[in-house]
Structure 1
Amino acid sequence: MSTTASTTEATAGTATPSNAEVVEHDTSHVFHSWSAQAKLAPVAIRTGRGVMVEDYDGNEYLDLSSMLVNVNIGHQHPRVVEAIQRQAAELTTVAPAHANATRARAAELILDHAPEGFNKVFFTNGGADANENAIRMARLHTGRDKVLTTYRSYHGNTGAAIVATGDWRRVPNEYATGHVHFFGPYTYRSEFWAENEQQEGERALRHLERVIQSEGPESIAAILLETIPGTAGIMVPPPGYLAGVRELADRYGIILILDEVMAGFGRAGEWFAFDAFNVRPDLITFAKGVNSGYVPLGGVIISDEIAAAFDERVFPGGLTYSGHPLACASAAASIEAMEDEGIIENARRVGEEVIGPGLRSLAERFDVIGEVRGRGVFWAVEFVADAETREPVSAEFMGALKKAVLERGALPFTSENRLHFVPPCVITDDEARRGISIVADALAAVTA
Structure 2
Amino acid sequence: MTDTVLNDAIASDPAAGDRARALDAHVFHSWSVQGQTNPFAIAGGLGTRVWDHDGREYLDFSSQLVNANIGHQHPKVVAAIKAQADVLTTVAPATTNLVRGEAAAAVLAHAPGFQSVFFTNGGADAIENAIRMARLHTGRDKVVSLYRSYHGNTGAAVVATGDWRRVPNEYARGHVHAFGPFLYRSEFWSASVEQECERALHHMRRVIEAEGPESVAAILVEAIPGTAGVIVPPPGYLAGLRELADRFGAMLIMDEVMSGFGRTGEWFAHDAHDVRPDLIAFAKGVNSGYVPVGGVVVSPEIHETFSSRVFPGGLTYSGHPLAAASIVATLDAMASEGIVDNARRIGQDVLGPGLAALAERHAMIGEARGVGVFWALDLVSDAKTRTPVGADVIGALKGALLRRGLLPFAADNRIHVVPPCVVTDDEAHRALEIYDEAFAEVAGGAAA
- TM-score of the aligned structures, taking structure 1 as reference length: 0.97
Residues 48 and 72 of structure 2 are in contact (CA less than 8 Å); yes or no, is this contact kept in structure 1? yes
Equivalent of residue 25 in structure 1, options 23, 26, 30: 23
How far 1:18 sits from its partner (Å)?
3.7
Equivalent of residue 350 in structure 2, options 340, 345, 354: 354
Pair 16,323 (structure 1): closer, same or farther in 2 beyond 3 Å: farther
SS in 2 for 1:261: coil
Structure 2 Cα separation of the partners of residues 395 and 32 of structure 1: 20
Q: Which residue of 2 aligns with 1:250?
A: 246
Query: 1:427 aligned to 2:423?
Result: yes
Letter in 2 for 1:2: T
How far 1:119 sits from its partner (Å)?
1.8
Residues 49 and 75 of structure 1 are in contact (CA less than 8 Å); yes or no, is this contact kept in structure 2? yes
Structure 2 Cα separation of the partners of residues 148 and 307 of structure 1: 22
Residues 74 and 292 of structure 1 are in contact (CA less than 8 Å); yes or no, is this contact kept in structure 2? yes
Q: Which residue of 2 aligns with 1:135?
A: 131
Q: Which residue of 2 aligns with 1:189?
A: 185
How far 1:205 sits from its partner (Å)?
0.2
How far 1:21 sits from its partner (Å)?
2.6
Query: 1:178 aligned to 2:180?
Result: no
Equivalent of residue 34 in structure 2, options 18, 21, 37: 37
Q: Which residue of 2 aligns with 1:218?
A: 214
Structure 2 Cα separation of the partners of residues 255 and 357 of structure 1: 37
Query: 1:369 aligned to 2:365?
Result: yes
SS in 2 for 1:48: strand
* Alignment root-mean-square deviation, CA: 1.3
- TM-score of the aligned structures, taking structure 2 as reference length: 0.97
Residues 225 and 259 of structure 1 are in contact (CA less than 8 Å); yes or no, is this contact kept in structure 2? yes
Q: Which residue of 2 aligns with 1:3?
A: 5
Query: 1:291 aligned to 2:293?
Result: no
Mapping of 1:276-355 within 5 angstroms? 276-355=272-351
Structure 1 Cα separation of the partners of residues 295 and 20 of structure 2: 33
Structure 1 Cα separation of the partners of residues 328 and 16 of structure 2: 36
Structure 1 Cα separation of the partners of residues 292 and 352 of structure 2: 31
Letter in 2 for 1:3: V
SS in 2 for 1:374: strand
Residues 41-89 of structure 1: CA deviation (Å, up to 9, x unaligned): 1111111100000111111000000000000000000000000000000
Letter in 1 for 2:314: G
Residues 6 and 58 of structure 1 are in contact (CA less than 8 Å); yes or no, is this contact kept in structure 2? no
Equivalent of residue 90 in structure 2, options 76, 90, 93: 93
SS in 2 for 1:17: helix
Residues 391-443 of structure 1: CA deviation (Å, up to 9, x unaligned): 00111001100111011101000001100000000000000011111111111
Letter in 2 for 1:20: D
Structure 1 Cα separation of the partners of residues 130 and 61 of structure 2: 30
Residues 78-124 of structure 1: CA deviation (Å, up to 9, x unaligned): 000000000000000000000111000000010000032x1200000
Residues 13 and 53 of structure 2 are in contact (CA less than 8 Å); yes or no, is this contact kept in structure 1? no
Structure 2 Cα separation of the partners of residues 7 and 344 of structure 1: 30
Q: Which residue of 2 aligns with 1:121?
A: 117
SS in 2 for 1:83: helix
Residues 380 and 388 of structure 2 are in contact (CA less than 8 Å); yes or no, is this contact kept in structure 1? yes
How far 1:16 sits from its partner (Å)?
6.6
> Which consecutive unaligned segments of at least 5 residues does structure 1 have?
none
Q: Which residue of 1 aligns with 2:68?
A: 71
Structure 2 Cα separation of the partners of residues 18 and 88 of structure 1: 28
SS in 1 for 2:99: helix
Identity of aligned pairs, percent? 65
Letter in 1 for 2:349: E
SS in 2 for 1:257: strand
Structure 2 Cα separation of the partners of residues 52 and 183 of structure 1: 37
Query: 1:385 aligned to 2:387?
Result: no
Residues 381 and 388 of structure 2 are in contact (CA less than 8 Å); yes or no, is this contact kept in structure 1? yes
Letter in 1 for 2:85: A
How far 1:8 sits from its partner (Å)?
8.7
How far 1:19 sits from its partner (Å)?
2.3
